[in-house]
Copies of this chain bind each other. A is one copy, B any other.
Amino acid sequence: MNYSKRIEEVRKLIITKGMDSVLINSPHNKYYLGELFSNSGYIVITKENQYILVDFRYFEEVKSKNNLFEVILLSSQNTIQKHLHSIIKEEGLHKLGFEGKEISYDFYQSLQESIPCKLYSLDISKIRSIKESIEIEHIEKACNIADVTFQHILSYIEAGMSEETVENELVRFMKEQGGQKESFDSIVASGVRGALPHGKASNKIIQKGELITLDFGVKYNYYCSDITRTISLGKCSTELSHVYEIVKAAGDEAIRKAKPNLTMGELDYSARQFIAESGYGKFFGHNLGHGLGIQVHEYPAITPDSAELLREGMIITIEPGIYIPNVGGVRIEEDILITSKGCCRLTNSSRELIVI
């Protein structure tokens, strides 16, 4: 993990935006910059210095891990507001950035009232979009656990089981394989529930002849995987197996196209157009994919209208889907790494329709 480089990236960003410092409170960015994954504690980066501010619960551990930072002990006497005030005075700061998407209005208000500095909302999350090799390794491992878990669950699912039972086993098995915790609440959506893109596992009983969409992932060393497979419990209808082939081919198309300098919009279009031409355009209502890393959804979003460019080292999901109300749905999702000339898949489970 190249922490000095990461800190310098933030420094470059604040200077580009005309600021001289930034206050960081989000767990994902604090982890990226200073190995602190917690809702508690702060990182402050100024033109010349960097600080981590935490209370007694985290102080010793943070200190032992972070030699690039000055580590400050917060307490009811030395609050973040008070200490930030001192830093601002000492360093003569005028323009403090803060994570406007991450900070609550009340906390913002308490800052504004207590510190002598102009405040500007700033999003620093983009600095995490190009992955270092060690980050890629963690995500590869997280994807590998997801693949092994998918293989395991195929032999576990039986007609008569509830979706929740399947979810419970997914999560248990991922942790047993060394996963830290699930990346998000797993989706297990069977039969008509497959038409709900966010059908969290319910007490619905899975029945023969139904498709089952499994969307799950695991964190490994704080990095997420995110995979979706739709399988068939016994033989499903001709229409649904036709829909499956369209979704698979749409994903194949996007994976074939993905490479540096393609716009996110072009990538989204490659799959969306294929689904539209197959006559199911109105049943694919969400984006094609999203960035993946410390957060399961992070920059970039693969949306129809985005002109942002894919770059080497980005890790994104490709997850087309077709959802037919009151009938069912299919989604197939891969995690891919953008390479110098194209991309490579990090999830390696079979993309064929598996009938169990």
Residues of A near any B CB (own CB < 8 A): 56-57, 98, 100-106, 108-109, 121, 164, 167-168, 171-172, 175-176, 181, 185, 196-198, 285
Contact = CB atoms under 8 A, between A and B. Distances in A.
Nearest to A98: B105
A122 to B, nearest CB: 10
A176 B168 contact: yes
Contacts of A56: 285
Given A102-B104, A167-B175, A168-B172, 6 more contacts: A57-B198, A98-B105, A105-B105, A171-B175, A172-B172, A181-B185
A323 to B, nearest CB: 10
A176 B164 CA distance: 9
B106 A121 contact: yes
Nearest to A56: B285
Contact of A105 (B57, B108, B176): B108
Contacts of A108: 105, 108
Contacts of A106: 100-101, 121
A56 B175 CA distance: 34
A164 to B, nearest CB: 7
Contact of A104 (B57, B103, B164, B175): B103
Nearest to A168: B175
B104 A109 contact: no
A105 B103 CA distance: 6
A191 to B, nearest CB: 16
A254 to B, nearest CB: 22
Given A168-B172, A172-B172, A57 B197 contact: yes
A251 B177 CA distance: 39
A197 B56 CA distance: 11
Contact of A121 (B105, B164, B175, B181): B105
Q: Give me the 5 closest cross-chain CB pairs, A-B, nearest first.
A: A100-B106, A172-B172, A168-B175, A105-B108, A100-B105
A109 B224 CA distance: 31
14 contacts: A56-B285, A57-B196, A57-B197, A98-B105, A100-B104, A100-B106, A101-B106, A105-B105, A105-B121, A108-B108, A164-B175, A168-B172, A171-B175, A181-B185
A197 B171 CA distance: 26
Contacts of A57: 196-198
Contacts of A100: 104-106, 109
A198 B57 CA distance: 8
A104 B105 CA distance: 6
